[in-house]
């Protein structure tokens, strides 16, 4: 089975995340049958399996890159655009046929990450989240559409395990500064130092694994990386000590 061709799946680069799209989602994470996305799973193995989440996964470059690196971790890409999510799904199906026993741990789901994450993931379920080259929404009036904001960070903190990691990268300096400022203002995240990141094998893959990252390289653009760790709730620590 040949890999799908992107030219047959093209659509607009931007999608309004506030608009009412037609999505199906479970009332509770336990209600979702993950074996539909991961054939290697059985119905009784659904709970808490997905640990890596690529939000706005685009054409799935990061998922395909990380799959053989972390074969024991289930990974999910979220994509709001219909044709793009269709491409990733077809890409994964083709790779599974071309490489039996491989790429069984990756899948894509079309949904709106700004609205439905708690419907799919338990508290503290995820170990890693990725926000690679998110839509900058340049106009100030559209900053509320940015995937990193103070309200959504609390939601991400809810589904991330303590010590879980969020990776961000962008070629837009203003967006980078925005994301860093919001993470630093949030009490449940701390920035990971450059020295610590040197030992993380994922970091180097963030620059070139996606179509957007490759485009920035071709255009000789800059790339701004920031990585944050989910830390324990300081208020919970105080309550424990009382």
Contact 124, 159 (CB under 8 A): yes
Structure tokens at 93: 């199906």
SS3 175: helix
Q: Which two tokens stand for residue 189?
A: 């995240």
**CATH architecture of structural domain 6-16+42-241:** 3-Layer(aba) Sandwich (3.40)
Length reported for the chain: 242
Strand-pairing partners, residue 5, are none
pLDDT > 60? residue 242: no
* Residues 133-145: tens digit of each pLDDT: 999 988 888 898 8
* Residues 162-221 pLDDT 10s: 999 999 999 999 999 999 999 999 999 999 999 999 999 999 999 999 989 999 999 999
pLDDT for residue 141: 87
CA 189 to chain centroid? 17
Q: Let me know: does 165 contact 229? Beta carbons within 8 Å.
A: yes
Q: Which of 1-5, 111-115, 171-175 has the lowest average pLDDT?
A: 1-5
State the Cα angle at 29 between 60 and 14, rounded to 5°. Answer: 35
CA count, 13 A, side-chain hemisphere, 97? 10
pLDDT in the model for residue 46: 65
According to the model, what pLDDT value does residue 40 have? 85
Cα–Cα distances (Å) from 177 to 67, 102, 112, 134, 201, in that order, read 30, 38, 24, 13, 24
Predicted confidence at residue 45, as pLDDT, reads: 65
Q: What is the DSSP letter of 19?
A: S
Quick check: 228 and 190 in contact, CB under 8 A? yes
**Predicted TM-score (pTM) of this structure:** 0.91
The pLDDT of residue 165: 98
Task: Give the separation between CA 136 and CA 145, rounded to whole angstroms.
Answer: 9
Residues assigned a catalytic role: 135
């Amino acid at each position: 089975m040949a890999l799908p061709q992107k030219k047959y799946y093209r659509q607009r680069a931007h999608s309004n995340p506030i608009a009412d799209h037609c999505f199906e989602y479970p009332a509770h994470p336990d209600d979702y049958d993950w074996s539909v996305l991961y054939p290697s799973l059985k119905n009784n193995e659904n709970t808490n399996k997905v640990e890596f989440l690529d939000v706005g996964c685009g054409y799935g470059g990061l998922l395909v890159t990380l799959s053989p690196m972390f074969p024991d971790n289930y990974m999910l890409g979220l994509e709001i655009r219909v044709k793009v999510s269709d491409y990733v799904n077809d890409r994964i199906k083709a790779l599974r046929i071309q490489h039996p026993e491989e790429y069984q741990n990756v899948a894509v789901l079309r949904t709106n990450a700004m609205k439905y994450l708690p419907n799919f993931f338990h508290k503290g379920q995820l170990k890693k989240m990725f926000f690679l080259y998110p839509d900058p929404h340049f106009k100030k009036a559209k900053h509320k559409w940015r995937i990193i904001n103070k309200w959504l960070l609390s939601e991400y903190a809810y589904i991330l395990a303590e010590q879980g990691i969020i990776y961000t990268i962008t070629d837009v300096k203003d967006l980078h500064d925005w994301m860093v400022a919001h993470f630093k203002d949030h009490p449940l995240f701390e920035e990971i130092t450059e020295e610590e990141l040197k030992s993380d094998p994922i970091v180097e893959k963030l620059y070139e694994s996606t179509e957007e990252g490759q485009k920035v390289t071709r255009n000789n653009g800059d790339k701004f990386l920031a990585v944050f760790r989910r830390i324990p709730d300081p208020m919970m620590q105080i309550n424990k000590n009382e």
